Amino acid sequence: MRAGAEDAGSVEGRPGNGQIGILGPVELMGEESAVVSHGQALNFGQPVAIGLFAILHFLRDADDPAGVVACLRDAVAPGSYLAISHIGTDFFPNKSALAEAVAVYERASERVWPRSRDQILSFFDGFELLEPGLVPKHQWRPVTGKAAVGTPNIQWGAVGRKP
Ligand SMILES: C[S@@+](CC[C@H](N)C(=O)[O-])C[C@H]1O[C@@H](n2cnc3c(N)ncnc32)[C@H](O)[C@@H]1O
């Protein structure tokens, strides 16, 4: 989501350049005219699609990512979709491999907070998962003949629909 205001929601270490930090969705939803897509204000009376791709693992548990998602869920109309990809602890064979991956992110950008499949699944509370459910990201309806080769996947991915 992107704000029309130039300096909206910029938090140290968080999105700038007009992007709104996801930590304040309550305020965000109260500012409907600030939430724009392709230059048009979103109408939250109509179904929308929320894409949180590789975003929630930048939120600490203390940031309450489940609460952030629940707030978005409660704000959107029935028929809306939620898509999430999120780094999973399950993809690492042991704690040291996980710690090394976290350290690589920390050196490159910022700290990540990988979560278990069950934790990530709980972000879809109140949504009906589309087939094939919460799966390794590259297995979610891959385009035939375009499967990534040789790229290790470390993220779970799913799409849900608010009934
Ligand atoms: C790995 S990039 C993914 C970008 C994009 N979703 C994609 O899949 O190409 C991580 C993104 O998370 C955003 N991000 C990190 N913390 C955030 C927060 N608190 N609120 C909103 N976005 C955040 C960063 O600005 C960055 O754009």
The predicted pLDDT at position 150 comes to 67
User: Which residues lie across from 159 on neighbouring strands?
Assistant: 83
The predicted pLDDT at position 33 comes to 46
Using a CB cutoff of 8 Å and minimum separation of 24, what contacts does 150-155 make? 152/91, 153/91, 154/87, 154/88, 154/91, 154/92, 154/101, 154/114, 155/54, 155/85, 155/86, 155/87, 155/88, 155/91
Residue to probe by mutation, ligand 1, list 22, 27, 58, most atoms within 8 Å of CB = 58
The predicted pLDDT at position 58 comes to 94
The ranges of the chain with pLDDT < 50 are 1-14, 16-18, 33
- Ligand 1 centroid, distance to 53 Cα (angstroms): 7
Instruction: Determine the distance from the C-alpha atom of residue 122 to the mean position of all C-alpha atoms in its chain, rounded to a whole number.
Output: 13
CA distance 123 to 69: 6
Given the candidates 3.30.420.40, 3.40.50.150, 1.10.3720.10, 2.50.20.10, the CATH classification of the domain at 48-161 is: 3.40.50.150
